[in-house]
Structure 1
Amino acid sequence: MNNPTATDALKSNLGEAGSHLKSAAAAASEAIRGAAGSAGDELKLGKATVKSELADGALSALAAGESGGAAAMEQVDQLMDKGRDLIDSAADLIRERPLASFGVAFAAGWIIAKLARSGGGSDK
């Protein structure tokens, strides 16, 4: 009797199924290792990109800081020029109208003195 029994067929099929499952597990394991390797490579690439972008951002910030200093100096120069122009205009006015200029200066001094005395408060 060489006919395989149902039990023999079941064992054979189960053995074959087990062999296929073992091969599938090995393939899955290899796929996971490959994915982990790829993910690691992607992570390294992403990390390098982030570092590069941060470095570029820092360089841009430094350049902006240097430009800000230069812009501030330009503004100071413009303010100084306007101040000189104002002083020149005042000097021209004093030369043209010395008596009126003296009167305005005297009145301004008197008002400032009054405010200073009354600002001292309750000495009266």
Structure 2
Amino acid sequence: MSPSSTDAMKTNLGQAGAHLKNAATDAGSAIRNAAQVAGEELKVGRAAVKSDLADSALAGIAALEEGGGAAKEQVDVLMDKGRDLIDSAADLIRERPIASFGVAFAAGWIIAKLARSGDR
């Protein structure tokens, strides 16, 4: 006796169900594996980010330390320029005392005039 159409349909549906069950199992395994790999990648990525942030912090601290030295150098340069300017002014006053007095008097007069006009 040959199997009836109903029996053949039941057999095919049974096989389809078995294949669907296998597909679901495989999909679950794939998702678990992907999650595990993604978790490991996140750990590696997190470690890399922490390392980069630590390196950045160290470089920033080093820059701040160097910044203090650079600021001191700039202050020293400005102080030297100020001393040179004062020495130059002193030399000019020694060379031309009358002209220096006249310029100082005129500057004082102008400043006083501006100060009085600002009071009004």
**TM-score category (smaller protein):** 0.7 to 0.9
Q: How does 1:17-36 map to 2 (within 5 A)?
A: 17-36=16-35
Q: How does 1:1-124 map to 2 (within 5 A)?
A: 1=1, 3-121=2-120
| C-alpha separation in 2, matches of 1:7 and 1:115 | 115
Deviation of residue 34 (structure 1)? 0.4
Matching residue's letter, 1:82: K
SS in 2 for 1:4: coil
| C-alpha separation in 1, matches of 2:80 and 2:89 | 14
Matching residue's letter, 2:98: L
Deviation of residue 44 (structure 1)? 1.4
Runs of 4 or more consecutive aligned structure 1 residues displaced over 3 Å after TM superposition:
none
Structure 2 portions without partners, runs of 5+ = none
Give TM-score, length-normalised by structure 2. 0.86
Deviation of residue 31 (structure 1)? 0.7
| C-alpha separation in 2, matches of 1:13 and 1:114 | 111
Matching residue's letter, 1:17: A
Structure 1 portions without partners, runs of 5+ = none
Deviation of residue 58 (structure 1)? 2.1
In angstroms, what is the RMSD of aligned CA positions? 1.7
**Identity across aligned pairs (percent)?**
73
Give TM-score, length-normalised by structure 1. 0.83
| C-alpha separation in 2, matches of 1:24 and 1:30 | 10
